[in-house]
Amino acid sequence: MIGILMIAIGLPTPLASGFGINLPINLHVIYQLYPYVYYLIGAYLRKFPININWFWILSLEIITTLAGIGINMLRRNPFVGGAEGNYPSLLVMMQAVALFMLINVLAKRSHKWITWLSKYTLPIYLMSFVVDMFVYPFFIHWLGSGKATLPFALLIVIIVFGLSLGLTLIAETITNLIWTPLMRVLMMPQKLWVKQFTIKQ
């Protein structure tokens, strides 16, 4: 069932944007439905883990990534981007699933830094939206064009990740400083009510 959904949701966008083949499907509907397919895939893998050697998972990740790069390079006009079909693309789904499974394999091993970092994945992702708005314009302005940033892609990703993690840790520190006294204030009426009730008893 999930495989059928992946094909039904994942094929229209890469065929349309990468090869000019338009299926009789409304792409707006595809963009509304694809997050649910990602959720179902994640839920299935969580409920029914698939044991595959990490080498084959890594191979799939590399092959699908190179395929996406190749499609984008072949369809550039004049710039690169979007020809692989974006997030709803079956190719991107396979990349995401392979990466998730690879991380899951690594997470089963005893690595303290993975355990520590895993709890920050969502806030890092959210913070990256803020960081992206400053880092990418800076590099584009510095280098002269978006195309010129390609050789610096790995450096940019590392910088975005580092800054996003830094903002996450700062936000966590501020939240902890505010939350503890705030909870004390919010809990005061309840404590007074409990105390009065205890005295009456």
- Tens-digit pLDDT profile for the chain (201 aa)? 677 777 777 777 777 766 667 777 777 777 778 788 888 888 888 788 778 888 888 888 889 888 887 777 777 666 556 666 777 788 888 888 888 888 777 766 666 777 788 788 888 988 988 998 999 889 888 888 777 877 888 888 899 999 999 999 999 998 888 877 777 777 766 555 555 555 455
Question: What CA–CA distance (Å, rounded) separates 3 from 12?
Answer: 15
Task: Specify the pTM.
Answer: 0.55
Check residue 191 and give its pLDDT: 56
| Alpha carbon distances (Å) from 20 to 14, 17, 31, 68, 75 | 9, 6, 18, 16, 10
The confidence score (pLDDT) of residue 192 equals: 55
Write down the pLDDT at residue 170: 94
pLDDT of residue 167: 94
Q: What's the pLDDT at 160?
A: 93
pLDDT, residue 78, reads 60
Q: What is the pLDDT of residue 126?
A: 87
H helix intervals, the chain: 2-10, 12-19, 27-47, 54-74, 90-107, 112-118, 121-143, 153-200
Domain ranges of the chain: 1-109, 119-201
Q: What is the model's pLDDT at position 49? A: 77
Which of 25, 157, 144 lies closest to 10 in space, CA to CA? 25
pLDDT value for 159: 94
